[in-house]
Amino acid sequence: MADFLLEIGCEEIPARMIDAASRELRERVAGLLGRERLNAGEITSFDTPRRLAVIAHRIPASQSDVSEQITGPSLNHSYKDGQPTQAAISFAKKAGVDVSQLEKTTTPKGEYLSARITKKGRAAAEILAENLPRELASIYWPKNMYWRKPNERFVRPVRWIVAMLDGEAIPLEFGGIKARNLSRGHRILADRQVMIPRAGSAYVDVLRSAKVLGRAEREQQIRKALDVATSTISGACWREDKTLLDTVVNLTEFPSVVLGGFDPQFLQLPEEVLVTVMRDHQKYFAVEDASGKLLPHFLAVLNTDGDSQGLIRHGNERVLRARFNDARFFWETDQKKSLLERLDLLRHVTFQKDLGTYYEKTQRVQRLCSWLSEIIRQSGMAIRPGVIHKAAALAKTDLTTELVKEFTELQGIVGGLYARVQQLDSSLPEATRFAIADAIYDHYKPESTEGDVPRSMEGAVLSIGDKADTIAGMFALGLAPSGSKDPFALRRQANGIVKVIDKYKLPLKLNEMMRDARAGYQGSAAERKFVDAAAFEESTQAFFRERLEFYLKDVLGYGYDVVNAVLAAGADDVVDAIARAEAVKQVMHMPEFAAIGAACKRMRNILRQAEEKGIKPAEAFEGLADSPPEEKNLAAYIETYGPRIEEHRRKKEYSDALLLLSSARERVDAFFDKVMVMVEDAKVRANRLALLRTLLKEFSTIADFSEIATEVK
């Protein structure tokens, strides 16, 4: 047994890529060891910005020998007159055994000569040196490079490699670098080669003495240092931010923290701006008081062991001051031109190269939003007058502001903040102005599946209208997302639409909405490049069906059979689909529905076969004098219960409708037991087919139970 160590020393690996690459390297080493019968006792990984390492504890020094049976010529050809033939002799020679040691094997094809041979296990060092370069070259990087040979790619240039079995380096070579037992310490704090005495946990200890810590240790050290630094301000705490923490953990080999301050006057700037500058641009943690209010301090994570002379704090404060000054300068400059005045500037901002400018988009979104508002208003839901139209007009104007040009991630938010402080229109009451501001502020929401939806109905409508317009334009150009290609994040935007519709329970039909969104492009230059309306409808329908399916399954947690059954009965109305899914979930465990599912499948098959043979159902079912009682019973059921079920359905009382439907089970079963549908008599046959068609329609307008049939026992 031996311990194996592999360390790839590299120029600084991008922070965002380290975790995944480290995991992948560990899996690749584990996979290789497994395939080569060199299974380790335990495999650990170690990574910093300048190295990816794997330690495989207790692997065999070499593969064990294996005994193997190999098959030779058929027995018929192996002996002649009791003497081995030339074929048998050659086989024995090839197998390295004496002819007398050959055995016979019976296979399905007949009897063959065979030999048992022993395959000598190879040394671990040899196997690893031979195979690891291929594994290393296969690691996935979102963006890689070459520096030596064009076909030799890695994330950044590899500068050293340690590959050892216990105390011995193994002859591994990758990227033109031969493995040795020499690693390197921290770039500044221990800028030297570091001898690794042996593979195993000694490696981690040696690196620690060279001021290089593993991931978990760095995270712990940063958290502790953040706490300590913050404790010097009474009542303060640092603002938890997992993404930021992961980033700084992967930007450091030996982290420490410095607390800095800024002029409290900057607190007059919106918190959104200050936090964005600190977090996104400077990678600083924000400091807040007990009530969550921002304090004029920040925490910078350093890749060194402190700041004894205070120079680092001073430098960081200087940079932040310049950034905040810039932000203030941008804020003040931006006020010189109101959002209203900026509307015209949108004529110069491209939305998408074929879809024209943001000015044109604004006009389309305005129209679309007023149409959506009308539908919502007609359903009796409240929308404040005069808000959406104005908000839609101004929503994109912040793209022309200096602040958004500098901090693009604040689009929408900046517009909302400006709308709040600007006199948009002297006739507007303040409450309306604030409602407009909030709608603009929120209109990019939700930013992700977990993200918040807009706070107001007006924001919700604007959010939907803006996204629907983008999706419609892109799909009309034939630019639907495919695979991992979704540069306009259309999937995220469609997910957003579905979520907002659900949260606000909006009576919007997706298909109609998309048709109207497309109509917004009528007469534009883009229209010449559009696919035809039918292709558009087909692709957007399939796209939204997928998004709704995702939402029902992954966000709301409905089972896939429920989702399939519900969407088969319609995927156009989000709120309705969710209500149906909930109802189906309530009843699907009942045995009646298993039976009904089976019956639906049967009805569907019969109707399909009839159609294939060109046999048409009658216009409507009519009671015939000689109908068997089962047929009459079933028809009577539909007549009695049909209107009641329909009434429930109309009121969207889907559980009640389904419960009523379940009472049909016995009659359906009896019908299929006793009555033959595809009889010779054309009139009877057509009549029965009509009955089935009516019944199937009753059953499948809420959910297609044949999708569930096999799942429920």
Partner 1 sequence: MNPSSSNPLTFQELILRLQTFWAERGCVLQQPYDVEVGAGTMAPETFLRVLGPKAYKVAYVQPSRRPADGRYGENPNRLYKHMQLQVILKPPPENVQELYLESLSAIGIDLHAHDIKFEEDNWEAPTLSAWGVGWQVMLDGLEITQFTYFQQCGGLDLFPISAELTYGLERIAAFLQDVDSIYDIVWARDPETGAVVKYGDVRLADEQQFSVYNFEAADVEKTWKHFELYEAECKALLDTYNESYKPNQEQELKEVELRLDRESIPKRPAKSRFPLLAAYDLCLKCSHLFNILDARGAISVTERVGVIARVRALAVGIANAWVDQQESEDDVGGGTMESEPVRGRLPKRKAEKLAPVGS
Q: Which residues contact partner 1 by CB under 8 A?
A: 11-12, 14-16, 49, 143-147, 150, 156-157, 159, 187-189, 251-252, 282, 284, 300, 302-304, 307-312, 314-316, 318-322, 325-326, 329, 347-350, 353, 356-357
Amino acid identity of residue 543, one-letter, is F
Give 620's DSSP letter. Answer: S
User: For 263, phi and psi rounded to 5 degrees?
Assistant: -60, 120
> Are 174 and 131 a contacting pair, CB within 8 Å?
no
For residues 24 and 138, give the distance between their C-alpha atoms in angstroms, rounded to a whole number: 10
- Cα dihedral 168, 174, 177, 182, rounded to 10, equals -30
Write down the least CB distance from residue 690 to partner 1, Å: 59
For residues 264 and 233, give the distance between their C-alpha atoms in angstroms, rounded to a whole number: 15
Query: Which residue number, 259 or 548, has a Cβ lying nearer to partner 1?
Result: 259
> Are 286 and 276 a contacting pair, CB within 8 Å?
no
- Count other C-beta atoms under 10 Å from residue 601's C-beta: 16
Q: Tokens 């009516």 identify what position?
A: 694
Rounded to the nearest 10 degrees, what angle do helices 457-476 and 533-550 cross at? 130
Q: Is 257 exposed, middle or buried (0-12, 13-18, 19+ CB in 10 A)?
A: buried
Q: Tokens 């379940």 identify what position?
A: 662
For 216, 608, 640, 646, 654, the CA distances from 699, given in Å and listed in that order, are: 57, 17, 15, 11, 12
> Are 539 and 568 a contacting pair, CB within 8 Å?
no
Question: Per this entry, what is the length of the chain?
Answer: 713
Burial 419-435 (b: 16+ CB within 10 A, else e): bbebebeeebeeebbbb
Per the structure block, which two tokens stand in for 604?
A: 């569907």
132: nearest Cα among 3, 1, 2, 4 = 4
Would strands 2-10 and 158-165 be described as parallel, antiparallel, or unpaired? antiparallel
Q: Is 270 exposed, middle or buried (0-12, 13-18, 19+ CB in 10 A)?
A: buried
Write down the least CB distance from residue 21 to partner 1, Å: 13
> Are 584 and 712 a contacting pair, CB within 8 Å?
no
The sign one gets for the Cα dihedral 582, 588, 590, 592 is: positive
> Are 163 and 177 a contacting pair, CB within 8 Å?
no
> Are 343 and 389 a contacting pair, CB within 8 Å?
no
Sequence-distant (≥ 6) Cβ neighbours of residue 282 within 8 angstroms: 298, 300, 316, 319, 320, 323
For residues 61 and 125, give the distance between their C-alpha atoms in angstroms, rounded to a whole number: 8
Per the structure block, which two tokens stand in for 350?
A: 């491209």
Q: Tokens 């019968």 identify what position?
A: 37
For residues 566 and 543, give the distance between their C-alpha atoms in angstroms, rounded to a whole number: 16
Q: Tokens 């500044």 identify what position?
A: 188
For residues 89 and 93, give the distance between their C-alpha atoms in angstroms, rounded to a whole number: 6
Write down the least CB distance from residue 475 to partner 1, Å: 22
Give 543's DSSP letter. Answer: H
Per the structure block, which two tokens stand in for 423?
A: 């006199």
